[in-house]
Structure 1
Amino acid sequence: MRADSGVEDLLRRLAPQVLGALVRRYGHFDTAEDAVQEALLAAAVQWAEDGVPENPRGWLIRVASRRMTDLLRSEQARRRREETAAALTPPDELLAPSPGEGRTPAEDDTLTLLFLCCHPVLSPASRIALTLRAVGGLTTAEIARAFLVPEATMAQRISRAKRRIKSSGIPFRQPADRERTERLGAVLHVLYLVFNEGYTATSGRNLQRNELSGEAIRLTRAVRRLLPDDGEVAGLLALMLLTDARRPARTDPDGALIPLAEQDRSRWDREAIDEGIALVTDALSRTLPGPYQLQAAIAAVHDEAVHAEDTDWPQILALYELLERLSPGPVVTLNHAVAVAMVDGPRAGLDLLETLDADGRLTGHHRLDAVRGHLLEMAGDHGAARSAYRTAARRTMSIPERRYLQARAARLT
């Protein structure tokens, strides 16, 4: 039986908290994840029939702990761990409901799990992949698409990361100040990817997965409480808030995608925009600019425009030129090409796009074709634009994006 969407959202939100509680109590990261997955499956069936229990987090921890006991008992080589895990009922502090936002960062199991997954014994790519799996709740296929690598490659990477965590005996605790700084880059990248997957899902019927973007914002706020003077932490939080502020206007009542230029800006969340602008303005005034601060500044320029035609594209272009020098990459170049087209004309943007055709990281990715279609349409080459839109529609796994791209192509027929 499949859980309804409300139960699914709750389970996704609680999963990293339960995993963090088990790892803190018992260790054995890989075994704990297996136990949590079985508890989630049991909850999806039982809660759909009987309703959500009064303390869902405690229910999940109790069931997962019992399953973990069984798993540990089956490992004869781990007698000491078996004795530790023998108690079927975990301590009261594990079962207590999570206070949520009022909880201090040091007590937040999810945040501790986040830093654990970003331990320096793992490669940078493995840290991000493991955290997306354990904390973000993304599937292996979704993570593979975020990294632009085959799913089999990503599955192997995650498995190796779990084994490395297990063999290293890394303690489940908040890292010391110096360790925390060393892991921060990977942590921020993870949160950025989790937010992006929530804001524009790579697959499925819904354009957005609000539980993921909301969790990314919550965790980024927690990291900022730990590091209030870090400009890039503030920049990432600002970027998330400025982007998420547009969420109410991104889809119509049927869930169809509405592009930025056509959105009803009166529906944007002005409170989130004001907070984001204040954050990035303060960060840029007192720290050296970093990639997240620059992206937040670009988002702020978009959000400050009352109408799409009021957008200050020359300022956005200047920011993208700085971003490309500071943090080059195919996605940055893709967005840079749009800014070039808006300032210097679509042919100039298309010339920049050609530099990406040989970049294997975007081979087969729908966004390159979608942007090319948009710029070709701007240039008046409707036949080529229609072809590019259709190619992009075939390549995306997101149903709302596919329908939008198909509609764009049909409009040019």
Structure 2
Amino acid sequence: MDVVGLRERIPLVVAVLVRRGADFASAEDAVQSALLRALEVWPQDPPRDPTGWLVTVAWRAFVDIVRSDTARAAREERVAAEPLPGDVPSHDETLRLYFLCSHPSLTPSSAIALTLRAVAGLTTRQIAEAYLVPETTMAQRISRAKQRIAAVRLDQPGDVGTVLGVLYLLFNEGYSGDVDLAAEAIRVSRQLVALADEPEVRGLLALMLLHHARRAARLTPSGRLVPLAEQDRSTWDTAMIAEGVAILQSALARDRLGPYQAQAAIAALHADARTAGETDWTQIVEWYDELLTLTPTAVVRLNRAVAVGEADGPRAGLAALSQVDPMVPRFAAVSAYLHERAGDRETAAVEYAEAARRATSEAERDHLSRAAARLRDR
């Protein structure tokens, strides 16, 4: 059975139930019940109309949920008409489900968990294992998220930018347990591209693909971090890079530049260089300038300082870095790198050690500590 294909139908079926009058929480629970039933039945008796089958079984599950809840018996008035097997929602209705799962009233962690459950179709156990938390903890997080959006109607337009932000946060969670969250973010983003004809949606998908293409080169077999300049570029996924570049070009052709397109353009320039020395840093700086006009954040200024240091020399990079708040994450690491390139190894060693203390991951902490020790040994 194509489990991924089965999960891709989830937003469609949830949207049908919500349109028919089901509240989101009950609809999502009913669809999960239908999925479990499909896993039992379909291997021996596959339906001719899989989506219609799921709609019918999920609706019956919803009716059972309503009827079993005597305290809310009045809701039975809304379940008189059972949808026809082929009754599936339009793209607009399905897109609203993405908006609902990324509602501004939810915290980022809750929005991601709800998106994984209702849109990506992962089980609560899978989501809990991916975040390394007990299943009961994740179940409570998802339940609270459902309660918070219980009164939100699906008759108002949502914000695509909020959805993209949630998907990008999901992508950056990466991989843990038996669920590849980065791959899930890419899969869901592909669906969103088909639903929302927006250049920024394509820009985000291109950005994800271009970053994901370098994944195999980022760590050694022992788990050590490999900087971009030292990565074995023969291990990069060239087919994924080509796809990402093509999607980016189709987005840029619309002449409606957004932050994700600008970031994807920077990633494409890195991917285009056969060696680190061939990287077009001047053009990368120009794209960072574009990005600053769109999102003038300290993180963008920090990354631009690195690019300036590569394009115009470490002293120019340090001058650009002086305009950045020192409390920004990775500031000490960037300052250390630029000071080392400028020949000030003593300052660089101190700052690498400070950066290691601030690091949020073990791999990054180990990498920065080794850099500090390397300079001290010299």
Q: Alignment partner for residue 275 of structure 2, among 307, 332, 335?
A: 307
Rounded to whole Å, the distance in 2 between the matches of 1:81 and 1:397 is 48
Q: Alignment partner for residue 219 of structure 1, among 188, 193, 196?
A: 188
Q: Tell me the residue number matched to 1:355.
A: 323
Rounded to whole Å, the distance in 2 between the matches of 1:55 and 1:392 is 53
Is residue 2:114 matched to residue 1:115?
A: no
Deviations 1:106-159 (A, max 9, x none): 4997x664221235xx45xx47554223124778xx8xxxxxxxxxxxxxx999
Task: Check whether the contact 2:336–2:352 (CA below 8 A) recurs between aligned residues.
Answer: yes
Q: What is the CA distance between 1:73 and its match in structure 2?
A: 6.5
Residue 237 of structure 1 aligns with an amino acid whose one-letter code is L
Rounded to whole Å, the distance in 2 between the matches of 1:324 and 1:406 is 31
CA shift in 2, pair 1:72/1:378, >3 Å? farther
CA shift in 2, pair 1:17/1:329, >3 Å? farther
What TM-score, normalized by structure 1, do the two folds share?
A: 0.65
Q: What is the CA distance between 1:297 and its match in structure 2?
A: 0.9
CA shift in 2, pair 1:30/1:353, >3 Å? farther
Q: Tell me the residue number matched to 1:100.
A: none
Q: How many residues align?
A: 335
Q: Alignment partner for residue 246 of structure 1, among 211, 214, 218?
A: 214
Q: Alignment partner for residue 343 of structure 2, among 354, 367, 380?
A: 380
Rounded to whole Å, the distance in 2 between the matches of 1:135 and 1:112 is 12
Deviations 1:336-388 (A, max 9, x none): 010111122223222332333266xx3xx3x2222222222222222322222
Is residue 2:152 matched to residue 1:189?
A: no
Rounded to whole Å, the distance in 1 between the matches of 2:344 and 2:307 is 19
Task: Check whether the contact 1:129–1:158 (CA below 8 A) recurs between aligned residues.
Answer: no
Q: Tell me the residue number matched to 2:47.
A: none
Rounded to whole Å, the distance in 1 between the matches of 2:40 and 2:335 is 50
**Unaligned 5+ runs, structure 2:** 44-52, 118-126, 132-140
Rounded to whole Å, the distance in 2 between the matches of 1:402 and 1:36 is 43
Rounded to whole Å, the distance in 2 between the matches of 1:303 and 1:386 is 30
Q: What is the CA distance between 1:404 and its match in structure 2?
A: 1.5
Tell me which moved more, 377-386 or 312-321. 377-386
Higher RCO by CA contacts (8 Å cutoff, separation 6 or greater): 1
Q: What is the CA distance between 1:15 and its match in structure 2?
A: 9.5
Rounded to whole Å, the distance in 2 between the matches of 1:396 and 1:16 is 37
Q: Displaced runs of 4+ in structure 1, greater than 6 A?
A: 13-24, 30-37, 52-56, 69-74, 82-85, 157-161
Q: Tell me the residue number matched to 2:111.
A: 131
Rounded to whole Å, the distance in 1 between the matches of 2:195 and 2:65 is 37
Task: Check whether the contact 2:102–2:115 (CA below 8 A) recurs between aligned residues.
Answer: no
**Unaligned 5+ runs, structure 1:** 1-9, 44-51, 86-90, 94-102, 143-156
Task: Check whether the contact 2:204–2:264 (CA below 8 A) recurs between aligned residues.
Answer: yes
Q: Tell me the residue number matched to 1:282.
A: 250
Rounded to whole Å, the distance in 2 between the matches of 1:217 and 1:340 is 31
Task: Check whether the contact 1:242–1:272 (CA below 8 A) recurs between aligned residues.
Answer: yes
Identity of aligned residues (%): 44
Rounded to whole Å, the distance in 2 between the matches of 1:251 and 1:294 is 26
Q: Secondary structure at the match of 1:258?
A: coil
Q: What is the CA distance between 1:395 and its match in structure 2?
A: 2.5
Rounded to whole Å, the distance in 1 between the matches of 2:113 and 2:325 is 30
Rounded to whole Å, the distance in 2 between the matches of 1:372 and 1:35 is 53
Q: What is the CA distance between 1:316 and its match in structure 2?
A: 0.4
Rounded to whole Å, the distance in 1 between the matches of 2:213 and 2:371 is 25
Rounded to whole Å, the distance in 2 between the matches of 1:355 and 1:391 is 20
Residue 102 of structure 2 aligns with an amino acid whose one-letter code is C
Q: What is the CA distance between 1:53 and its match in structure 2?
A: 7.4
Rounded to whole Å, the distance in 2 between the matches of 1:262 and 1:104 is 49
Q: Secondary structure at the match of 2:149?
A: helix
Rounded to whole Å, the distance in 2 between the matches of 1:183 and 1:18 is 21
Q: Tell me the residue number matched to 2:72.
A: 78
Q: Tell me the residue number matched to 1:265.
A: 233
Rounded to whole Å, the distance in 1 between the matches of 2:116 and 2:76 is 29
Rounded to whole Å, the distance in 2 between the matches of 1:342 and 1:195 is 27
Rounded to whole Å, the distance in 2 between the matches of 1:277 and 1:164 is 39
